[in-house]
Amino acid sequence: MVYTDNTTNIHKVLDELNNLTPTLKFTLEEEQNKQINFLDSTIKKNHKGLSFDIYRKPTTTDIIIPKDSCHSAIRYYRDRLQTYRLTPKNGDKEKETVRQILVNNKYDPLPIILGHKGKKQNHNTQTQKRMWARFTYIGKGTRFITKLFKDTNITICVYHEQHNWQAPLHGT
């Protein structure tokens, strides 16, 4: 909550919020040195308005999910760099931090540096006809089977009967 001291008694507001329900308790964290950490960002007040930076707790390590675990930690870092309104200086600093994290965890740092997913471009896609295949989702096995089509010109669409939805699997 953003407020002005001369118009809002923040401690009264906090008490009212905490009295709404006994099972939910709100806390108060006030800015220090014209900045405050909120989730994974630092918001700073300056003469031009607000600026943003990435916040990491002092206990944060550079260990991320291993590359071979079929999970892309890179997407999170890339998306955060593209969506947060970082200053050019803070953006460059964050790119270097993430590049080092990726290198330390044996990832290719190129997707962060270039700002894309880093997938190999197939220059023959214009001449190849794209085919589609539909699988009914039956559990983890479906994802394993559909990964077999990753390097083909077949796009996989997974149908989930229980929820009556279907969607293409990106990255397969």
Residue 124 maps to a domain: no
Best-predicted range by mean pLDDT (25-34, 112-121, 136-145): 25-34
Q: Global pTM?
A: 0.43
Distances (CA, A) of 49 to 54, 68, 85: 17, 43, 13
Per-residue confidence band for 115, with pLDDT thresholds at 50, 70 and 90:
low
Residue 120 maps to a domain: no
3 state DSSP class of 8: coil
Residue 73 maps to a domain: yes
Indicate whether 39 and 108 sit together in one domain.
Answer: yes
Per-residue confidence band for 33, with pLDDT thresholds at 50, 70 and 90:
very high
Residue 80 maps to a domain: yes
- The total number of structural domains that make up the chain: 2
Residue 2 maps to a domain: no
In this predicted model, what pLDDT tens digit does every residue of 70-102 receive, in sequence order? Answer: 456 677 777 888 888 888 899 899 888 888 888
* 76 or 34, higher pLDDT: 34
Indicate whether 101 and 162 sit together in one domain.
Answer: no
Indicate whether 108 and 39 sit together in one domain.
Answer: yes
Structural domain including 60 reads 31-114
What pLDDT sits at residue 73? Answer: 66
166 has pLDDT over 70 = no
In this predicted model, what pLDDT tens digit does every residue of 121-162 receive, in sequence order? Answer: 444 445 556 677 777 777 777 777 777 777 777 777 776 655
